[in-house]
Amino acid sequence: MSYNKIVLRYVDGRTRKGTTGNFSPDREKFHVTPAGATPESMPLEVHTGDLKAIFFVREFEGNREYQDHKFFDAGLTVIGRKVKVVFNDGEVLVGSTTSYNPDRQGFFINPADPKSNIERCFVVKKATSKITII
């Protein structure tokens, strides 16, 4: 089974880092093994509805000094629709999506910045204040 490095951002502001192998955008819960957990540790059950977003990352640490840019580079080929997401807490994500459907609990977005530590992000729709196709 392939495991993804993820950073969970909860609607209450908490953050948790770990790995998952069973996240599905159509299910209401999935399992996460916390970063640094021993191999015999039991995974934690996570309810998608408690989250703001799930960030699928290259590295857990990332580069704290680097600020992702919120625009598409000129000449960059974009697959899907360009989208701007504003979360209820004011955070803004800009990227592209091929899976936005207003009737689903969320959708994946690929960041506009190709140098971002975020490979993709699952946005939980109820944690957003505005979603704009740009």
Give per-residue pLDDT as tens, 21-78. 999 999 999 999 999 998 888 999 999 999 999 999 999 988 889 999 899 988 888 9
**pLDDT value at residue 2:** 75
Q: Which pLDDT score is estimated for 87?
A: 98
Q: Which residues constitute the domain of residue 23?
A: 4-133
Output DSSP code: residue 43. P
108 with 93: CB under 8 angstroms? no
Angle at 126 (CA atoms; ends 84, 79), nearest 5 degrees: 35
Tell me the pLDDT tens digit for each residue of 88-126.
Answer: 999 999 999 999 999 999 999 999 999 999 999 999 999
Looking at the 3D structure of the chain, how many domains does it have?
1
- Asked if residue 115 lies in contact with residue 53, where contact means CB atoms within 8 angstroms, the answer is no
pLDDT tier, 80 (very low <50, low <70, confident <90, very high otherwise): very high
For strands 51-57 and 118-124, give the pairing. antiparallel
